């Protein structure tokens, strides 16, 4: 009897993950096993098959010709086994498991917290693991199930569902306005301290009653991160131009006040992004549908809700924020 008749499919699964992640270290982290265990698993698979699948160097791993052929043959069948196993395991039981969600700091800190709390109360056996990062997160390599991203997206291999298009508004802390007064005209902003977001610059262009108007602002503090701009505004450093979604929770708590509410600007779209899968686990479907429903509902009637998304799935394209 051939040794391959007793092939351990776990070894094949580890081999696939090593190839996907590009290293034993990354694969081990994704699978929650030591790097050495991932390396030994691939070595055992090679010994069972009697052929080398990976060419190992100090800098990288590359597939041998045999490895490329083997990968092409086993990837789809093993994926179908995983899908079938997941589907059967979900039948007749309460949804459970971990859903990993990536979001940027301002969104994660100021708007999404209560949304996730509500979801976990409805689904107590599902654990949401948030990856809050300013950097670009690779959904495949970091095992991310869903990502909440603002701006246009540049990876067409992902599925993006537009949730909303937010707006920008002018905000300040109550203490600052008590000390310096509340501007009543757009031109009055030039006489106030501004917290300037470096990407926006010191010339603010806002839609108002007379269309697009501009005002040159001045400030002693400039930052290249919107989360920092928000914190500076909360501290009373000046008036800030912020995405309404970032300031949403602060306005509800009374720690920020929207100034010149008739002025604003259309912001960037907010997308819910995922990797295309033949079978999406039930726990991921539940959170995905919850977010598609709850984000527009909670934004309804606020300045952020300039345009609600339709939730339709489409390939991502364009430039990501």
Q: How confident is the model at residue 90 (pLDDT cuts 50, 70, 90)?
A: low
Domain covering 167-267, topology: D-Maltodextrin-Binding Protein; domain 2 (3.40.190)
Q: How confident is the model at residue 320 (pLDDT cuts 50, 70, 90)?
A: very low
Greater pLDDT, 229 or 108: 229
Q: Is residue 260's pLDDT more than 90?
A: yes
Q: Is residue 321's pLDDT more than 80?
A: no
Which residue bears the tokens 């540049």? 154
Q: What is the pLDDT of residues 129-161, one digit of tens each?
A: 988 887 778 888 788 999 988 777 666 678 888
CA distance 95 to 105: 28
Greater pLDDT, 298 or 76: 76
| Strand ranges (E), the chain | 54-56, 61-63, 97-103, 126-132, 146-150, 159-172, 193-197, 203-208, 211-216, 218-223, 239-243, 257-259, 265-274, 307-308, 313-315
Q: How confident is the model at residue 306 (pLDDT cuts 50, 70, 90)?
A: very low
**Where are the chain's structural domains?**
3-90, 167-267
Q: How confident is the model at residue 189 (pLDDT cuts 50, 70, 90)?
A: very high
Q: What is the pTM of this model?
A: 0.60
If 0-12 CB within 10 Å is exposed, 13-18 middle and 19+ buried, where does residue 83 land? middle
| Residue ranges in 235-317 assigned as alpha helix (H) | 244-253, 282-299
Average pLDDT, the chain: 83
Architecture of domain 3-90: Orthogonal Bundle (1.10)
Q: Is residue 240's pLDDT more than 90?
A: yes
Which residue bears the tokens 């654990």? 127
The SS3 assignment for 292 reads: helix
Q: What is the mean pLDDT of residues 211-224?
A: 92
């Amino acid at each position: 009897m051939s040794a391959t008749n007793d092939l351990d499919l776990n070894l094949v699964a580890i081999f696939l993950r090593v190839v996907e992640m590009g290293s034993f270290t990354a694969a081990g982290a994704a699978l929650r096993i030591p790097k050495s265990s991932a390396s030994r698993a691939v070595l055992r698979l090679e010994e069972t098959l009697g052929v080398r699948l990976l060419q190992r160097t100090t800098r990288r791993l590359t597939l041998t010709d045999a490895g490329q052929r083997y990968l092409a043959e086993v990837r789809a069948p093993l994926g179908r086994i995983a899908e079938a196993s997941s589907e059967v395991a979900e039948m007749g039981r309460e949804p459970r498991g971990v859903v990993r969600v990536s979001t940027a700091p301002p969104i994660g800190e100021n708007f999404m917290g209560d949304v996730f709390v509500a979801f976990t109360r409805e689904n107590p056996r599902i654990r949401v693991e948030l990856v809050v990062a300013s950097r670009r997160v690779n959904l495949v390599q970091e095992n991310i199930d869903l990502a909440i991203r603002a701006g246009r997206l540049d990876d067409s291999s992902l599925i993006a569902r537009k949730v909303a298009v937010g707006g920008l508004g002018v905000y300040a802390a109550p203490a600052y306005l008590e000390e310096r007064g509340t501007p009543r005209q757009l031109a009055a902003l030039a006489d106030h301290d501004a917290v300037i977001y470096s990407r926006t610059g010191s010339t603010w262009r806002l839609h108002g009653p007379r269309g697009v108007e501009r005002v040159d602002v001045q400030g002693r503090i400039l930052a290249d991160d919107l989360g920092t701009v928000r914190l500076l505004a909360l501290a009373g450093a000046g008036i800030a131009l912020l995405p309404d979604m970032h300031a949403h929770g602060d306005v509800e708590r009374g720690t920020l006040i929207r100034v010149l509410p008739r002025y604003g600007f259309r912001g960037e779209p907010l997308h819910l992004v995922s990797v295309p899968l033949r079978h999406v686990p039930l726990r991921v479907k539940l959170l995905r549908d919850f977010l598609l429903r709850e984000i527009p509902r909670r934004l309804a009637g606020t300045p952020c809700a300039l345009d609600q998304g339709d939730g339709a799935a489409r390939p991502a394209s364009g430039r990501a924020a």
